[in-house]
Amino acid sequence: MIKPTKTPGSLFRAAFVVGLGLTSLGVTRSAQASSSYPPALAAAIADDTAHFPNAVTCVPQCTACHLTTVGGPGMMNKFGLRLEHYGLLAGNHDLVALALKQLAAANDALVASAMLPIDSDGDGVSDIDEIIKGDSPSLAAPDGTGQFCPDIKYGCGAHIAATPPVDRLGLFSAGLVVLSFAVARRRRRSARPRRAPK
């Protein structure tokens, strides 16, 4: 007896679900980390010469604002939380410069009132001064020394490359292609004449 096969509609739905699943993997990965924030932070520092004179010129790692290089919402370190407090929002790197200006203005107001400046990591050096020197404003010295733009290497001078953006449409298409091959193979098998039992 020949077993009933799936209808073309149900096969397409299965292909769509798998493709959607592959696409969601890309969405999850891209939501975790955004390569646009570090350059935006570097540009904001370079533009604000009044608060960051002669600051180190580098593009910071994601760890400037996040607990790990993976980044993502909910993974902010002390300095990242400070920038969020002054207006930085996930998903909008255009607000980096505004948040940094707000932080610098608040720091100015504290200093003018003879109060301690903003010091996210509590090591006695203000966030502004640490950024100028290239130290992490979220890691107390000596751990944070030179960690605003760390030169991460593995092996003999090999650098970590930025994660390429995920091609969600490509993942979806790949899922459909794989399933279409599976469907075609199944149809060929079901189309073969079956031998009657002896």
DSSP 40-104: HHHHHHHH-TTTSTT----PPPGGGTBSSTT--TT-B-HHHHHHHHTT-BTTBTTHHHHHHHHHH
Coil, strand, or helix at residue 159? strand
Other residues' Cβ atoms within 10 Å of the Cβ of residue 12: 15
What pLDDT, in 10s, does the model give residues 28-48?
A: 343 345 788 999 999 999 999
Nearest to 128 by CA among 90, 175, 88, 79: 79
* pLDDT surpasses 60 at 168: no
What pLDDT, in 10s, does the model give residues 62-118?
A: 899 999 988 888 899 999 999 999 999 888 889 999 999 999 999 999 999 999 999
Rg (CA), the chain: 26
Integer Cα distance of 76 and 188 in angstroms: 53
Coil, strand, or helix at residue 76? strand
Integer Cα distance of 136 and 64 in angstroms: 7
Integer Cα distance of 198 and 192 in angstroms: 18
pLDDT at 70: 86
**Amino acid symbol at 87:** G
pLDDT band at 172 (very low <50, low <70, confident <90, very high): low
Q: What angle do CA 144, 85, 126 make, to 5 degrees?
A: 35
